[in-house]
Amino acid sequence: MVEKLVHVNGVDLCVETFGDPAEPAILLIGGATSSMDWWEDEFCERLAAGLRFVLRYDSRDTGRSTSYPAGAPPYSQLDLTADAVGLLDAFGLAEAHVVGISMGGGIGQRLGVEFPDRVSSLTLISTSPGGPGGPANPDLPPMSERIQALFAEPAPDPDWSDRAAMTDHMVAGYRPFAGSCPVDQERERELAGRIFDRTTDIAASMTNHWIIEGGDPIRHRLGDVTAPTLVLHGTEDPLFPFGHAEALAREIPGSDLVALAGVGHQMPPRQVWDVVVPAILRHTSGGWERQADRLAAQSLATGSPTGWFERLYQAGVAGETTMPWDRRAPHPLLTEWAHGLRGEGRSALVVGCGFGADAEFVAGLGFETVAFDISDTAVRLVRARFPESPVEYLRADLFEPPAGWQAAFDLVVEIFTVQALPDSVRDKATAAVANLVGPGGTLLAIEAVREDPAVQGPPWPLTRREIESFATGGLTPVRVEEIADPHRWRAEFRRPR
């Protein structure tokens, strides 16, 4: 992680980054009076481990950023919104996935409305479409009586210069907003101490955000938000009860709402990080295909053309992306080709079996079927999906298959595995598949057709020369079909007896 001061919008903001700047950016925007310390190191590191470039920062009057005299902030929430845009400019980022909590969620909404081209997606945590419920927002539930009493009779100001007194004051201030989800009180005290130590003017930090102007309301414009939006909200939020989250999800088109059980108006406690972190990663992934691109690039950079498959399946299991290659039905080009085919007394091998739809179909034709995948996770999942299956699902490496598989199968089915491997190992992969076909056996290969010679995979679709190169090691082509919609190769090869 790297911390530095950045001059933005006429002020200095302290920013810390995690991860590779080449990855999709996540901009974390804190709530009122909250320095970036609230986005804990490990939380940011987990996001960065999902191949994201994470930025957290001290907003004005917090942490090490520009501070003003307590009670006299010369800025508004509009300036805080402009600061967020300025940070993107300072880092050369055309856009970012914006994650905002409480007031930071309000800033996120304004960004989505007023700067839609700068927002890849929105994640709104513990926030509201219109502020606290009451006469100004009669359709939104009011804050709890406990919080109303707290605002009506706030605790007296502590000695701002006394670290111990300030730590006690901050911790006592957090407690009424928490839900029933247990809080690590020792960690909370450590965090409060760290905030005190890092903050230029703690009195200004604890005061000024509460008295700035919010700008013109934008609730009536939330229907114009085009960024994909995820709403994360505690079920026990006493400031913005859960109805605020439901209103946000209704008013921003296509929003997803995730309830955080037992969480109040607070940074998500560690107990729910296993919900929150995967939810944010999934929301910012762009789909499993985009995450596959990132994982493959990282894997190939280390010289491993197949290492990314396991990591992608693991990400799917963790909920960090949609599950890859999760077909529930056999490939239609396989079922069409196999019409009338019976396999009793013969063996079949399915390459790169994934979730097993093709293998189950082949076994249903009567073949004694083996199916394999390079990913341990994929094999575990497919066995769980088909616990009574006659298919033998195994973990194996196409480039180092079991010795008994060479020239051993009457039918080999290869669908989209070779195209998931880079050009650098293409010839080795096609030869490895061809070597599995036994005497008198058949290979069926289904792959995408390469239309762009400069394609940056995965996948790396095949040219005609590459699909025809399965005719190696004694295999001869039976027919090679180029199918228009979708643009696919379906090629059949046979080995003489």
Residues tagged active-site: 102, 237, 265
- Site of tokens 């006592």: 172
* CA trace torsion 327, 332, 335, 336 (10° rounding): 180
Which tokens in the block code for residue 22? 């080449």
CB contact set of 275 (below 8 Å; sequence gap of 6+)? 258, 260, 268
State how beta strands 347-351 and 368-373 pair.
Answer: parallel
- Site of tokens 């019976």: 342
DSSP 197-266: HH-S-HHHHHHGGGGS---S--GGGGGG--S-EEEEEETT-SSS-HHHHHHHHHHSTT-EEEEETT--SS
Considering only CA atoms, which of 258, 257, 252 is closest in space to residue 226? 252
- The amino acid that residue 346 corresponds to is R
Considering only CA atoms, which of 157, 176, 169, 178 is closest in space to residue 196? 169
CA distances from 267 to 126, 470, 478 (A): 8, 55, 62
In sequence order, what are the beta bridge partners of 136?
none
Which tokens in the block code for residue 374? 């390079």
Extended beta strands in 114-162, E state? 119-125
